[in-house]
Structure 1
Amino acid sequence: MIKIALFLIPILLFGGNDVYQQGKKLYFAKGCNGCHGVTAGGTNLYPALAYRRKAFLVHKLKRLRAKEGDTQLAQMMIPFAMGLSDAEIDALTTFLSDYKEQKSKKSYVPDDSNTGGGSS
């Protein structure tokens, strides 16, 4: 019974989608996108975070918040993680583990109406 209550309390307080949206806002507000990319897909130096298991992400962020970084890149994350509350870690990891790719409804179609005929 207690496990069910602990599971339902965050959903009732924040709503399932609200936690995701809060995590999305935090991802950009905290500057995570600067290293991990706008789509959380990572870069050549920094790992992808989107679609990772929530438990793994929570574990990593809590270790970093406790100033436990085992590599130089991980140690760079410590100042970012130190400022996160448990609720913020929950929101960020919900966003990242449940990541939904935003696809643009518009597609790019080049407009060649003002280009020349190709001759000079």
Structure 2
Amino acid sequence: MRKIILLIFPMIALMAAPSAYEQGKKLYFSKGCNGCHGISAEGTNIYPALAYRRKALLTSKLKRLRSKQGDTQLAQLMIPFAMKLTDSQIDAITTFLSEYYEQKSKKHYEPDDSNTGDGSS
């Protein structure tokens, strides 16, 4: 009986633990990433899209920012946010962004084509 419990307990614990994707999603919103990069990580007219980017690239950039290395003035705005991230948080956030599968939202800066006419008015 004891062997069965020792075998089943780790399996139950793994099933109960949130996935790296879910942890990353929670961190993305709790750390305020969505404020600049959008609720679907689609970016804005100023801030880059992060969804569907390669995990290695995102990890590298976040770790560089965490070590206070920003290539551009815009990137340097990220340094205070990145400095607070641990390696495990960076892993979770980059998993979420690279494996992003949420419903896409329409980028808010795309022109609205619903009011286009033939130009003769």
So what's the TM-score if we normalise by structure 2? 0.71
Distance 1:55 1:20, change over 3 A: same
Distance 1:50 1:15, change over 3 A: farther
Separation in 2, partners of 1:51, 1:80: 21
Q: Which range moves more in the overlay, 17-26 or 45-54?
A: 17-26
- Partner of residue 67, structure 1: 68
SS of 1:22's partner is helix
- Partner of residue 42, structure 2: 41
SS of 1:64's partner is helix
- Partner of residue 79, structure 1: 80
Mark the runs of 5 or more structure 2 residues left unpaired by the alignment. Answer: 1-12, 105-121
- Which AA in structure 2 matches 1:101? E
SS of 2:94's partner is helix
- Partner of residue 114, structure 1: none
Deviation at 1:70, TM superposition (A): 1.1
Distance 1:51 1:85, change over 3 A: same
- Partner of residue 23, structure 2: 22
Mark the runs of 5 or more structure 1 residues left unpaired by the alignment. Answer: 1-11, 104-120
Distance 1:85 1:79, change over 3 A: same
- Partner of residue 9, structure 1: none
Structure 1 segment 52-63 matched on structure 2, within 5 A = 52-63=53-64
SS of 2:80's partner is helix
Distance 1:99 1:15, change over 3 A: farther
Which 4+ stretches in 1 moved above 3 angstroms?
Answer: 12-17
So what's the TM-score if we normalise by structure 1? 0.71
- Partner of residue 51, structure 2: 50
Q: Which range moves more in the overlay, 17-26 or 42-51?
A: 17-26
Deviation at 1:15, TM superposition (A): 8.7
SS of 1:20's partner is helix
* Aligned alpha-carbon RMSD (Å): 2.3
Q: Which range moves more in the overlay, 57-66 or 13-22?
A: 13-22
Separation in 2, partners of 1:23, 1:16: 13
